Amino acid sequence: MRKKYEPTWLIESIVQLTPEMLKVQGIKAVLADLDNTMIAWNNLDGTKEIHQWLKEMKAAGVSVIVVSNNKTSRVSRAVAPLGVDFVSWSMKPFCRGINVAQRKLRIEKKEMVMVGDQLMTDILAANRSGIRSILVKPIVESDSFITKFNRARERRILKKLAKTDDLTYKKGIR
Ligand SMILES: [Mg+2]
């Protein structure tokens, strides 16, 4: 039921991903949503944890690229302190951002995973692109109307998915 919204995995936070977990899955690159996945609107510089996580990924040779629907000026401002590459105007739930990221990374689809906090953009885009995905809990509640509207719909979709699938947030992927 509603498989197009179904994430491959669910974890509480992107920082729980380790290079080892990704390696087991054959994943070489993390395509990360920006808002509420990597950073919160009220802390644009990012937390200590996200900086530490990015360092670990870099050291292990895992590529991290931000794939955001936001405009270029906003995304470049946000990723500057994080020091990662990005795709803006990604048009999730369409495949544009993921395709651009794949071209930049020059890797296969099975080597990428999309991580995001929204079923209706991040997870749907990943499923349409044929790549694996990870749903994370949003860092903070957003104040935007459109996000609130989407969240209400998401809760209904999650409820339906939960009838057939285990949708509890795990500590990692496997
Ligand atoms: Mg988001």
Domain 3-162, what fold? Rossmann fold (3.40.50)
How far is ligand 1, taken at its centre, from the CA of residue 123, in Å?
A: 11
pLDDT at res. 1: 43
How far is ligand 1, taken at its centre, from the CA of residue 24, in Å?
A: 26
Model pLDDT for residues 29-71, shown as the tens digit of each residue: 999 999 999 999 888 889 999 999 999 999 999 999 999 999 9
* 34-48, 74-88, 93-107, 116-130: least confidently modelled range: 34-48
Residue by residue, what is the 3-state secondary structure of the chain? CCHHHCCCEEECCHHHCCHHHHHHCCCCEEEECCECCCEECCECCCCHHHHHHHHHHHHHCCEEEEECCCCHHHHHHHHCCCCCEEECCCCCCCCHHHHHHHHHHCCCHHHEEEEECCHHHHHHHHHHHCCEEEEECCCCCCCCHHHHHHHHHHHHHHHHHHCCCCCCCECCCC
Looking at this protein, which amino acid is placed at residue 15?
A: V
Model pLDDT for residues 38-48, shown as the tens digit of each residue: 999 888 889 99
How far is ligand 1, taken at its centre, from the CA of residue 151, in Å?
A: 11
Q: Which pair of tokens denotes residue 52?
A: 């530490």
Whether residue 161 is predicted with pLDDT greater than 70 in this model: the reply is: yes
Whether residue 145 is predicted with pLDDT greater than 90 in this model: the reply is: no
Q: Determine the Cα–Cα distance for residues 78 and 21; give it in Å rounded to an integer.
A: 27
Give the predicted TM-score (pTM) of the model: 0.92
How far is ligand 1, taken at its centre, from the CA of residue 164, in Å?
A: 25
How far is ligand 1, taken at its centre, from the CA of residue 87, in Å?
A: 14
Model pLDDT for residues 1-40, shown as the tens digit of each residue: 458 999 999 999 999 999 999 999 999 999 999 999 999 9
